[in-house]
Amino acid sequence: MKSVRYIMATDWHDHWDKLPGGLAVYTTSMLVPPMATQLFKDGTTATFLLFSKGSRRPLKAWSGKVKEISHEPGMERIAFRVKLSREVRFPRKYARLPDGWYVEEPEAPAASSGFW
């Protein structure tokens, strides 16, 4: 599997940087295709986005990792731990993202034209 990055978006009050013990819970309905349970991998790098409720104004963003993902097949609940590294500038390209758990694959390098 290629190296991927998760994008985790929510407008839930006091989220990401104030989670007790870093523990968060999403439901499978928050997985936005092509994100799927088959792509769960502990230690995956993530960008965590917090929006204001109602107006969906981008508030804060952090880089970090998702760890200890716990999901039993057939169950709706997905528990995981959030390990924040640092606050980052809110990425413009995510400014209108609805709540959810997204996956972003790295961009493929541009094909060489054969010229220097």
- Rounded mean pLDDT for each run of 10 residues along the chain, 116 residues in total: 86 90 94 95 97 92 97 94 97 95 75 44
Q: Is residue 68 part of a domain?
A: yes
Q: Is residue 32 part of a domain?
A: yes
**Structural domains counted in the chain:** 1
Q: Is residue 114 part of a domain?
A: no
Q: Is residue 90 part of a domain?
A: yes
Q: Is residue 116 part of a domain?
A: no
Q: Is residue 115 part of a domain?
A: no
pTM of the model: 0.87
Q: Is residue 62 part of a domain?
A: yes
Query: Long-range pairs for 31-39 at CB < 8 Å and ≥24 separation?
Result: 31/78, 31/100, 31/101, 32/98, 32/100, 32/101, 32/102, 34/103, 35/6, 35/100, 35/101, 35/102, 35/103, 37/71, 37/73, 37/78, 39/1, 39/4, 39/103
pLDDT for residue 115: 41
Q: Which domain holds residue 57?
A: 5-104
Q: Is residue 94 part of a domain?
A: yes
